[in-house]
Copies of this chain bind each other. A is one copy, B any other.
Amino acid sequence: MSSAAHNTRVVLASRPQGAPTAQNFRIEQAPLAAPGPGQVLLRNRWLSLDPYMRGRMSDVPSYAPPVQLGEVMVGSTVAEVLESHHPDLKPGDLVLVQSGGWQTHLVADGAGLRRKLDPQSPLPPSTALGMYGMPGFTAYAGLHEIGKPQSGETVAVAAATGPVGASVAQIARLRGAKVIAIAGGADKCRYLREELGMDVALDHRAADFAEQLRAAATDGIDVYFENVGGHVFDAVLPLLNDFARVPVCGTIATYNSKGDLPPGPDRLPALMGQVLRQRLTLRGFIVGDFVKLYPEFLREMGAWLADGRVRYREHVVHGLENAPQAFIDMLGGGNFGKLVVQLDQRQD
């Protein structure tokens, strides 16, 4: 096992105006320094592609700094240790790397490694990027800390075949809630019904989606886990019950907007009036706000995934060079399950 001669990486070539295009990315080769004391040389095996990365491509203020032009695109990876000068890691170990990036290799110190994967785990390593990782934890923490679904309440969630939505839907059902799962297209809805056993699965692309949602929400909606925004949120709003909770962890429907506000009327005052009259809670969060829950998540979700009470689905794309297009497609709902890029061996 020898050090890589070079690193192949995807950098941000330009900032998108609206939806990203292939021209916003550039694939390049770069030399790689040898690992120093305490450091490890890693080969990325799986790269996670997630909607939040769209935010990092823009330089508007947010909870995390943007990727700079010419820098490697951010992303979590599962990586294999090739060479180690770190006492806790040895070649062949698999580690979850939060700052792994869209690249084949990196040199990291121990602090940048989120956790070493358990070689005895029954779960495939790539699940550490999906429902057994950040997206699953987003669902778990948002429900635990904000949504707080009670048995018998109704929980609605969109993008329900994605890793966050599928975790929300299945965890909420385990908590005894009635779940209205929303996704785009007949195939995804069929999966929600037949594979995940959801009572209600609605296609948000249907022309009469809002009416279907109203008909399905016979007792209103107590928790709406907001990870998409747009017309799904518009359809949910009038159905919220008093004291409803809306954890807000994403608004993917608006990520590609160019920053212009949409045409009126202005619904902001009406929303605030509804928040008051119905005593709604709207609360934004990111998963890093709730790290204290992480061990509990690993224990509980690990057990659910292992015994099949929670099921996962992955959408695997092969080859780093295909990451940009896969990411672009995902922002339009083109993925079906957690989107991961499996890095080709030939790029070693």
On A, residues with C-beta under 8 Å from B are 55, 61-63, 226, 229-230, 233, 242, 248-251, 254, 257, 260-286, 289
Q: Which residue of B is nearest A273, CB measured?
A: B251
Partner of A264, one of B242, B257, B262, B279: B262
A-B pairs with beta carbons under 8 Å apart, 9 shown: A254-B272, A264-B265, A264-B266, A266-B267, A266-B268, A268-B268, A276-B286, A279-B286, A281-B282
Q: Are B269 and A280 in contact (CB under 8 A)?
A: no
Q: Are A276 and B272 in contact (CB under 8 A)?
A: no
Q: Which residue of B is nearest A234, CB measured?
A: B268
- In the assembled complex, the CB of A292 is this many whole angstroms from the nearest CB of chain B, namely 15
Q: Inside 8 A of A63's CB, which chain B residues have their CB?
A: 242, 277-279
- In the assembled complex, the CB of A177 is this many whole angstroms from the nearest CB of chain B, namely 21
Q: Are B273 and A271 in contact (CB under 8 A)?
A: no
- In the assembled complex, the CB of A244 is this many whole angstroms from the nearest CB of chain B, namely 10
Most buried by B among A229, A254, A278, A279: A279
- In the assembled complex, the CB of A181 is this many whole angstroms from the nearest CB of chain B, namely 21
Q: Which residue of B is nearest A289, CB measured?
A: B279
- In the assembled complex, the CB of A5 is this many whole angstroms from the nearest CB of chain B, namely 41
- In the assembled complex, the CB of A134 is this many whole angstroms from the nearest CB of chain B, namely 16
Q: Inside 8 A of A229's CB, which chain B residues have their CB?
A: 269, 272-273
Given A63-B279, A280-B282, 8 more pairs with CB closer than 8 A: A63-B278, A263-B265, A263-B266, A266-B267, A274-B284, A279-B285, A280-B284, A281-B284
Q: Inside 8 A of A248's CB, which chain B residues have their CB?
A: 272, 275-276
Q: Inside 8 A of A254's CB, which chain B residues have their CB?
A: 269, 272-273
